[in-house]
Structure 1
Amino acid sequence: MIGRTVLDERFARLVPGFGAIVSGGGASMMLGPMCFRRQPADVAVELAPAVRRLPDVGDYLEGPDAYQGSRPAASK
């Protein structure tokens, strides 16, 4: 399951850095901010000019990526 929430000041405080893992009750949830350096529609014009329409997307909080059981091991 995945979703997007507008990344405003309220939510930015919840996920400092690259993201956060919230665990409890046998399940965990990973949240991460998606902060664009440039607007995706502007970049698409340069990289894929044939793309006529791209949603106007601002920064967002991505999540939850939910799973049951213990927290996954960090990648090396």
Structure 2
Amino acid sequence: MARVVVDVMLKPEILDPQGKAVQGALPRLGFDGVSAVRQGKRFELEIDGELTSTRLAQVHEIAEKLLSNPVIEDFEVHVAEVEG
């Protein structure tokens, strides 16, 4: 079994109101020195069997077609170590 992580973030040119809200709240909570915040999503997929290049390509397709909106979001896929 393998664990594959898909991180989805808004493209840099897309406004991120949730990130701006967090950035604005930080100084009020006593946290200084954070110049920018971007909000995103993380998906962890557990893959049965061996993680082949074909299976990894399928995860990329899943990320593009289901987990992200390619018009406004970018995604990264990476293999994570399975704990335990």
Q: Report the TM-score when normalising by structure 2.
A: 0.29
Greater share of helix residues, 1 or 2? Answer: 2
Higher relative contact order (CA 8 A, sep 6+): 2
Q: Report the TM-score when normalising by structure 1.
A: 0.31
